[in-house]
Amino acid sequence: MKFVSCIVLVAVLCPGGIATQTLFAQSQTITATELREAVKQSAADRQKNLEQVRSFFADPKVSKVLKDSHIDSGRLQKAFSALDAGELAKLASRTTQIQNDFAAGALSNQELTYIVIALAAAVLVLIVVAA
């Protein structure tokens, strides 16, 4: 009798478990179109962040700080491209905030100088550590 009840219990529970696994697997499936769109969006985000960082460091005030600090802006430009997507996104966010603060008068020229030197040094260190 115990053996029969075990078989009945297994027969009742197994189809539910299989169905649950099948439904879970189906909900986790990614189509080629979704993957292609995700890749396109990631590339677009990276390009936008790269343009933001490059425009920040191309600003005449920032370029002057780099030149006065003897930091090679060409090397920095190459370094931006080598950053991974997360680091580039963080850098873009920081440069946007710095531009907004400077435009609003929240930063002095001296503070901008220190920030630019620190950001440039951080980028160069990230590249050296990654290599």
Q: What is the pLDDT of residues 64-117, one digit of tens each?
A: 999 999 988 888 888 888 899 999 999 999 999 999 998 888 888 899 899 999
| 27 found inside a domain | no
Name the average pLDDT for the chain. 82
Average pLDDT rounded to a whole number, residues 44-61:
94
Distance CA(51)–CA(131), nearest Å, equals 23
- The tally of domains found in the chain comes to 1
Distance CA(40)–CA(34), nearest Å, equals 10
Average pLDDT rounded to a whole number, residues 16-38:
69
Give the count of alpha carbons within 13 A of 104, CB side only: 7
| 55 found inside a domain | yes
- Identify whether the C-beta of residue 85 lies closer than 8 Å to the C-beta of residue 42: yes
| 125 found inside a domain | yes
Helix (H) and strand (E) counts in the chain:
6, 0
- At residue 32, φ and ψ (nearest 5 deg) are -60, -35
What's the domain range around 118? 44-130
